[in-house]
């Protein structure tokens, strides 16, 4: 039996973003140690780039939706086939205009007839 029975969400998008953010925080940390505003700003800029890179990779299918996934989708090298349509409950997809309900159902409500005085409806 496997050590875990669920997908922990390891994805190309996640690991790439993590790697870039690690470089950015390292640069910012070095900037703090040597008291260099350009290094601090550069490090924070690299962290911002990591967010954008992760988001783009997620939208192109290298990220995974939140929540449980089928076992066939657990592998890190597996692209998400539903990424184009967007993931329900995914903030990144909603920011890109994906994952929203496109079908709006209209319900016709029939007028309710009132019961004659002294009688109960129902």
Beta-carbon-side half-sphere exposure of residue 24 (alpha carbons within 13 Å)? 17
Asked if residue 61 lies in contact with residue 79, where contact means CB atoms within 8 angstroms, the answer is yes
Element spanning 90, H or E: none
Lowest mean pLDDT among 17-26, 38-47, 68-77, 79-88: 68-77
Residue pLDDT, tens place only, 86-113:
877 788 888 888 865 544 444 444 555 5
Neighbours of 87 (CB within 10 A): 20
Mean pLDDT estimate for the chain: 79
- DSSP string covering 52-84: HHHHHHIIIIIS--SS---GGG-STTPPPTTTT
pLDDT score, position 56: 94
């Amino acid at each position: 039996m496997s050590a875990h029975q669920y997908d922990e969400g390891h994805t190309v998008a996640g690991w790439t973003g993590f790697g870039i953010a690690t470089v950015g925080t390292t640069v910012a940390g070095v900037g703090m140690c040597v008291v260099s505003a350009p290094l601090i700003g550069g490090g924070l800029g690299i962290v911002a780039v990591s967010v954008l890179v992760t988001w783009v990779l997620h939208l192109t299918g290298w990220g995974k939706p939140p929540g449980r996934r089928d076992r066939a989708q657990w592998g890190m090298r597996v692209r998400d086939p539903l990424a184009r349509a967007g993931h329900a409950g995914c903030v990144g997809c909603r920011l890109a205009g994906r994952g929203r309900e496109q079908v709006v159902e209209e319900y016709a409500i029939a007028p309710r007839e009132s019961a004659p005085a002294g009688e109960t409806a129902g």
